[in-house]
Amino acid sequence: MSTTETTASGVGPVEGAPVYTVDNPAPLIEAPRKRTKKTPRSTRGNFELAAWLFMRLSGIVLVVLVIGHLLIQLVLDGGVSKIGFAFVAGRWASPFWQVWDLLMLWLAMLHGANGLRTVINDYAERPNTRLWLKGLLYTATVFTILLGTLVIFTFDPNIR
């Protein structure tokens, strides 16, 4: 009558006898897409999670670095009027401000570039457009970080 009736011993209505015994235990059914030695290692890491976390951690550090920078450049000691080659020479004579500017450069550029990557992902829908915009973004980012780093490390107060 009932065709869906099953028993613990796995006796099927057709076989009439237990299918599984001690010598013939129930077959283990592999989960679909089970990882084996032959499957390649994970192709997708936790990049997006790392990027999400980086945006938050770098943001907290940037509050101090950037607002401190604006305070020094625009508010203290006469505001913008004092800025000039001599002022920069005085600041970069100190390793403390060199490291400050270097950290600010790297964190702000990477934070901003990753933010722009999100914006491109959101608005550029054609694969080609995305590819080109991101290529442009990454090129500009690498160029800016390298240039800024070079300028800090090779600054010469006696250039002329």
Partner 1 sequence: MPAGTLYRGREGMWSWVAHRVTGVLIFFFLFVHVLDTALVRVSPEDYDKVVATYKTPIVALLEYGLVAAILFHALNGLRVIAVDFWSKGPRYQKQMFWTVMGVWIVLMAGAIYPVLGHAARVLFGS
d(CA 71, CA 118): 30
- The residue number whose beta carbon is nearest to ligand HEM equals 115
Distances (CA, A) of 39 to 23, 55, 113: 31, 33, 34
Given 31, 49, 60, 126, the residue binding partner 1 (CB under 8 A): 60
Which CB atom, from 11 or from 114, has the smaller least distance to ligand HEM?
114
Helix 95-123 / helix 47-70 crossing angle, nearest 10 deg: 130
Please say whether the beta carbons of 132 and 81 come within 8 A: no
Given 19, 50, 75, 99, the residue binding partner 1 (CB under 8 A): 75
Q: Which does 91 bind (CB under 5 to 8 A by kind): ligand HEM, partner 1, none?
A: ligand HEM
Residue 99, interface with partner 1 (CB under 8 A)?
no
| H-only helix segments in 71-94 | 85-91
Q: Residue 95 in 3-state DSSP?
A: helix
Residue 10, interface with partner 1 (CB under 8 A)?
no
Instruction: Enumerate binding residues for partner 1 (CB under 8 A).
Output: 56, 59-60, 62-63, 66-67, 70, 74-75, 78-81, 83-86, 88, 105, 108-109, 112-113, 115-116, 119, 140, 144, 147-148, 150-151, 154-156, 159-160
